[in-house]
Amino acid sequence: MNKELAKTYDPKGIEDRLYQKWLDKKYFHAEVDRSKKPFTIVMPPPNVTGQLHMGHALDNTMQDILIRYKRMQGYNALWQPGTDHAAIATEVKVTAKLREQGIDKEKIGREEFLKHAWAWKEEYGGKIINQLHKLGSSADWDRERFTMDEGCSKAVEEVFVRLYEKGYIYKGSRIINWCPVCQTSISDAEVEHEDQDGFFWHINYPIVGEEGKFVEIATTRPETLLGDTAVAVNPDDERYQHLIGKMLKLPLTDREIPVIGDFYVDKEFGTGCVKITPAHDPNDFEVGKRHNLEEINILNDDGTINEKGGKYAGMDRYDARKAMVEDLKDLGLLVKVVPHTHAVGTHDRCHTTVEPMIKQQWFVKMEEMAKPAVEAVKSGKLKFVPERFDKTYFHWLENIHDWCISRQLWWGHRIPAYYCDDCGEVVVRRGGAPDKCPKCGCTHFTQDEDTLDTWFSSALWPFSTLGWPDKTEDLDYFFPTDVLVTGYDIILFWVIRMVFSSLEQTGEVPFHHVLIHGLVRDSQGRKMSKSLGNGIDPLEVIDKYGADALRLTLMTGNAPGNDMRFYWDRVEASRNFANKVWNASRFIMMNLEKADVPAEMDLNDLTGADKWILSKVNHLAKEVTENLDKYELGIAVQKVYDFIWEEFCDWYIEMVKPRLYNDEDTTKAAALWTLKTVLSNALKLLHPYMPFITEEIYCTLRPEEESIMIASWPEYQESWNFAEDENAIETIKEAVRAIRNVRTGMNVPPSKKAKVFVVSEDEAVREIFENGKVFFATLGYASDVTVQVDKAGIGEDAVSAVIHKATIYMPFAELVDIEKEIERLKKEEERLTKELARSNGMLNNERFISKAPQAKIDEEKAKLTKYTEMMAQVKERLAQLAK
């Protein structure tokens, strides 16, 4: 072995170098190879505006573990990466940057704005990808895609045209969610509902022709009164049946509106009379359709009142609310104001309260496309891990509304709809505007100004990235993909849309499994957020402790679908584990340098300890493989961690040290072969989780191999199954633990050796201990070991420990120098006598009890209890020694 490991493990010194090696060697790259079975994952595309956060780090670590595992198993593994154009987020950032330069987006126009947006994308778009490199992500960067690249854009246009021709896409006036700050429509999935403190304003609407008579309504949004076109009551409500068909004077306006009967009204809620504003409430919109009511939009796009608002026109919605409430009070029409907490929809991007508004938009009909998506999970073609997320999926699909897909933005895929300048005919087509109008023959067209919802393009991601709509080799071979890894917060947004889009366009599910993970929270369990300032930058963790330590931390104790907390001391523990692996590997290699290790070993030449550890790593490979196949990533890594730290380092390496240090020992070669073999296999099992350290050690340990990345995954071998030897060593371990516990309980230092007697009537057990005597010197601090059938020759004063089918004895006098121990205990007795006197004195002192803070009194009581217990133990030991 020519190369050796550095003295100390320094992630900074190895990570960038190894990542570059992997890139140069093209290990991440996959091409169609029909002789191999494919395994595909598509990376949830991070926003082009994005910065790596803990959620990304977790999501990408999990994908990387699966892809590295499958690659080592011999699959043709493709991890398809890319970024999302993130329409709203990017437009906001570019607009803000232009504003800083004194440039008005509206003044420079669409074409010029898009030049700036593309320049911004070129400058910042690769940032998050470079950060994913730091994490060790082994995605096929040669295939990197972008939702607005030529191929993805072609797929978007194709899907839009197909759905339009099928009658699934239509343009119509419906209630949509409008963000007055971003000034665009947003989908239901982008609206977050948060409880806000508000009020119910009770207002009297005068009944026309009946002086002094009113209908009382209650509303949380008094400003929308300007758009009321009716008041509804339940037809079965005896209080109000006589009013149906009468007209009301709409306060603050010159309009009259009818009272209508509709079963939508809950008799028990509020006053039982509901104002109907079809242009500003989704439920009212439906009522309006049933009763053929006028739809009056009273808001401008920026959330101010429009020209239909009379004297309130031009006011911000909330200023108008205040002014109207004052005016209603002056008119004597404000009955009362009642505090009321209710859920308010806000835009998940800018947290502005959204306005339901009636607008001409493009929609996708969802009813028909939702059915196959429901069926895919019910039939088992698509499975959620864990299964409980089925419920979220079904609930959303079974209550789905038509999807508003148009956005009033410039950055994004422009809608391929063209309007004839002469007759207004709409033409939806691929490849740009038509040459002439099919209706009037005119040759001048204007394209629709709107762009498509970002989710429309990312819904096609699993197949658009592989070349669809063209029938490519990649698509035929790598699609459907195998697993999607994502957080539970994105099932509605994205997973469902990919499923129905894929089934509609390709007839296939986009992936077979959806592995759901939770959120990474801070150590107090709070969501990481900018406003709380509690976010932790993964790059800072990598810089301090290395990518492997971060990855191991994120996977330790990780269970599918569950949130996890981030603790810095856990990262430190992960780094300590890396140090342990590094130092153990250096120790092994230093010993391998000094001797010839056979490439092959006759298993009959192995000792019981060698067979034990070989059998252990063999079973470990089987279990870890089963766990990974079930996506139990946290359970798998815990087993590898425990095996390496405890079984391999703390037990086996300690067991073989006497053989390594003894050149006369004929089993030395067997020990070295076992050390090298077991370490190699353990590194392979650890590699998907900690790719850098395992690569550096493995390539130093086995210089004849290029990389652990392309080494074969360990498989269970029946010839390495040594149940008897496993049982024998576990028995010895139990005895060693018992000896250590006795010695610890008696404060015996490790330097003090003592005789050990093992007594058992079971011949098989005695044989185990005869063969295992060598371990007791190093592991059990024994000066000599005697194995016998009964207690003959063992003094009465011997200390004992019972294990399964045997008892261990150690002569008391050998463990403890009796004279010295009595002297030590007497000194301890004196010290405790003084402490007890002091403590009792304080607690019996009236002045101390009356004046000292309660915490100080409690502390003193706790000390008294502790000293009393310690004194009892000291007296008991002295009594034993006196015998």
Q: Which candidate, 206, 174, 403, 198, places its Cα nearest to that of 297? A: 174
Collect all residues with Cβ–Cβ distance below 8 Å to 60 and sequence separation of at least 6.
43, 132, 135, 137
Distance CA 186, CA 180 (A): 11
Distance CA 368, CA 500 (A): 10
Cis ω on the peptide bond leading into residue 258 (within 30° of 0)? Answer: no
Q: Which helix (H) or strand (E) holds 46?
A: none
> Is 510 in a helix, a strand, or coil?
coil
Q: Which candidate, 280, 278, 302, places its Cα nearest to that of 356? A: 280
7 in a labelled binding site = no
Residue type, 779: L
Over the Cα atoms of the chain, what is R_g? 38
Distance CA 852, CA 125 (A): 64
The answer to whether the CB of 516 falls within 8 A of the CB of 384 is yes
Measured N-to-C along each axis, helices 538-545 and 54-72 cross at an angle, to the nearest 10 degrees, of 60
The answer to whether the CB of 176 falls within 8 A of the CB of 361 is yes
699 forms beta bridges with: none
Collect all residues with Cβ–Cβ distance below 8 Å to 253 and sequence separation of at least 6.
226, 310
Bin 202: left if φ > 0, else alpha if -120 < ψ < 50, else beta: beta
The answer to whether the CB of 632 falls within 8 A of the CB of 624 is no
Query: What number of residues does the chain have?
Result: 883
Distance CA 352, CA 350 (A): 6
The answer to whether the CB of 267 falls within 8 A of the CB of 237 is yes
Neighbours of 384 (CB within 10 A): 21
Collect all residues with Cβ–Cβ distance below 8 Å to 194 and sequence separation of at least 6.
343, 344, 346
Q: Which candidate, 478, 483, 482, places its Cα nearest to that of 465? A: 478
875, two tokens: 């007296």
The answer to whether the CB of 185 falls within 8 A of the CB of 412 is no
The answer to whether the CB of 410 falls within 8 A of the CB of 110 is yes
> Is 290 in a helix, a strand, or coil?
helix
Alpha-carbon separation of residue 286 from 179, 277, 289, 334 (angstroms) = 22, 10, 5, 28
Residue with tokens 């330590």: 549
Alpha carbon of residue 581 to chain centroid: 27
Query: What is the 3-state secondary structure of 366-413?
Result: CHHHHHHHHHHHHCCCCEEECHHHHHHHHHHHHCCCCEECEECCCCCC
- Give 84's DSSP letter: B
User: What is the longest distance spanned by two Cα atoms in the chain?
Assistant: 119
At residue 384, φ and ψ (nearest 5 deg) are -95, 140
Residue type, 716: Y
Distance CA 786, CA 776 (A): 11
Distance CA 714, CA 72 (A): 9
Q: Which candidate, 825, 838, 834, 832, places its Cα nearest to that of 868? A: 832
- Annotated binding residues, as ranges? 530
- Annotated binding residues for ATP, as ranges? 530
